[in-house]
Amino acid sequence: QKEVEQDPGPLSVPEGAIVSLNCTYSNSAFQYFMWYRQYSRKGPELLMYTYSSGNKEDGRFTAQVDKSSKYISLFIRDSQPSDSATYLCAMRGNQAGTALIFGKGTTLSVSS
Amino acid sequence: DGGITQSPKYLFRKEGQNVTLSCEQNLNHDAMYWYRQDPGQGLRLIYYSQIVNDFQKGDIAEGYSVSREKKESFPLTVTSAQKNPTAFYLCASKASPTGYQPQHFGDGTRLSIL
């Protein structure tokens, strides 16, 4: 079983839709969870950063962590064509200096 | 503007040739990382450095070498021993190797074989 599983998509939605992106993981030691957005031919940019379980909201984006189910989600409300990108989840353990483990990314396309 | 600069954006390698990818950051970050990204594979760690003059192998270090002579610079050399070098290479940095801050990335170098 891979440490982090992420549905690669592609996921296509109309403008204004609510998008749900998800990752599952197997290592119960993971405590820090990140979502990165990557546009074509660009580096990943940090969208959301959460610690342990719970929700975090930033504008149209909400990150959820359910440690009991080893499941994290990123919700995008009122999706826009500019949200079309690949979304990568990433996570690491609590011990300082441990490596960041990435999902393979989900490609999202929002049509106008 | 503070950030991570990778150059060149595109690079072509001939058979048997070593090539060096540049990564420079002006964020005063201690830790720097090199990743390789292949389609459908996600990011895989090649090398990382927590402090000047020190670096460690990541998961796929074979065929690559690095140096860290200055805090702001972490060049990656793809050697002729790397038989499948075609990929998108990403450099990242973090303020402290032992802190809980996230990593920030440059815009990558795409390497292809001639």
pLDDT digits (tens, 9 = 90+) for B79-107: 998 989 999 999 999 988 777 788 999 99
Average of per-residue pLDDT across A98-104: 88
- Please, are residues B19 and B77 in contact by the beta-carbon 8 Å criterion? yes
pLDDT, tens digit, 9 for 90 and up, residues A45-87: 999 999 888 899 999 999 999 999 999 999 999 999 999 999 9
Q: Does A103 contact B at CB distance below 8 Å?
A: yes
Strand partners, B73: B24, B70
Q: Does B49 contact A at CB distance below 8 Å?
A: no
Q: How confident is the model at residue A37 (pLDDT cuts 50, 70, 90)?
A: very high
| Interchain contact, A88 vs B4, CB within 8 Å | no
Looking at residue B71, what is its pLDDT? 97
Q: How confident is the model at residue A96 (pLDDT cuts 50, 70, 90)?
A: low
Half-sphere exposure of B85 toward its Cβ, with a 13 Å CA cutoff?
30
The CA-based angle A12-A74-B33, given to 5 degrees, is 100
Q: How confident is the model at residue A105 (pLDDT cuts 50, 70, 90)?
A: very high
- Please, are residues B80 and B17 in contact by the beta-carbon 8 Å criterion? yes
Residues of A in contact with B43 (CB under 8 A): 44, 88, 102
Cα–Cα dist B35/B26, whole Å:
19
Q: What's at B114, amino acid-wise?
A: L
Q: Please, which residues have CB within 8 angstroms of residue A6's CB and are 6 or more apart in sequence?
A: A21, A22, A23, A88, A89, A103, A104, A105, A106, B42
pLDDT, tens digit, 9 for 90 and up, residues B2-20: 799 999 999 998 888 999 9
Q: Does A97 contact B at CB distance below 8 Å?
A: yes
Q: What's at B40, amino acid-wise?
A: G
| Interchain contact, A97 vs B98, CB within 8 Å | yes
| Mutation to test the A interface, candidates B103, B110, B112, most A Cβ within 10 Å | B103
Share of chain A above pLDDT 90, in %: 79
Cα–Cα dist A93/A109, whole Å:
31
Q: What's at A26, amino acid-wise?
A: S
Looking at residue A1, what is its pLDDT? 61
Residues 63-82 of A with CB under 8 A from B: none
pLDDT at A95 over 80: no
Please classify residue A41 by burial: count the beta carbons closer than 10 Å to its beta carbon, then call 0-12 exposed, 13-18 middle and 19+ buried. exposed
Share of chain B above pLDDT 90, in %: 79
Residues of A in contact with B105 (CB under 8 A): 36, 43-45
Q: What's at B32, amino acid-wise?
A: M
Q: Does B107 contact A at CB distance below 8 Å?
A: yes
Helices (H), chain B: none
**Pairing mode, strands B64-66 and B4-7:** unpaired
Diameter of chain B measured on Cα atoms: 41
Looking at residue B101, what is its pLDDT? 83
Looking at residue A80, what is its pLDDT? 98
- The phi, psi pair for B106, rounded to 5°, reads -85, -175
Residue B106 CB neighbours (<10 A): 22
- Please, are residues A32 and A51 in contact by the beta-carbon 8 Å criterion? yes
pLDDT at B53 over 70: yes
pLDDT at B1 over 70: no
- Please, are residues B103 and B91 in contact by the beta-carbon 8 Å criterion? no
Q: Does A91 contact B at CB distance below 8 Å?
A: no
Q: Please, which residues have CB within 8 angstroms of residue A48's CB and are 6 or more apart in sequence?
A: A34, A35, A56, A58, A61, A63, A74
